[in-house]
Amino acid sequence: MYHCHIHFYLTGCQNKEFEIIKEMSPLSHFTHTFSESIRPEKALAANADVILAYLHNTDVQETLQALLSYKKESAELILLADKEQVALLSDFLPDIKDIWIPSRSPWAPRAATWCWTRRRNPVSVSKMAADLQNEQGFLADRSIF
């Protein structure tokens, strides 16, 4: 039976969204590993399949330049940014898979759960396709995904 492992790297200060993501169960046939750091770390980013970067109180340019230089080509970059930071992301948009704007409302935990549930299915399919292609040579054309 097929089994897929996804390594998530969470960078930035602790927040509710990261805790919600870590607490959610993986999909069937998937396992998750999480690594975390306050500032981008090369070794952690280089091993991640998905990087979630919380940009609150960071130098956006410096953080994104570091993460983009550290990450492997196949890794997906998802940003959690304040509304005021979104304008600073324009030069990086081709390299960003998704942008979430965390809410400070009472609905925030439900919104984070919804965002994560919506994102994890495509991430899982993408990772599974890459694994099959790289390790078993099954997929010559990934355009079906």
The predicted pLDDT at position 88 comes to: 93
Q: What is the per-residue pLDDT across 94-133, written as a single tens digit (0 to 9) for each? A: 999 988 887 654 445 666 665 666 665 555 445 544 554 4
* Look-up of token digits 């925030």: 108
Look up residue 58 and give its two tokens.
Answer: 């960071």
The DSSP 8-state label assigned to residue 136 in this structure reads I
Q: Is residue 140 classed as helix, strand or coil in its secondary structure?
A: coil
Give the chain's residues under pLDDT 70: 1-2, 103-145
For residue 74, the tally of other CB atoms under 10 A from its CB is 11
Closest CA to 64 of 90, 33, 43: 90
Strand partners, 78: 52, 98
Question: What predicted TM-score, i.e. pTM, was given to this entire model?
Answer: 0.73
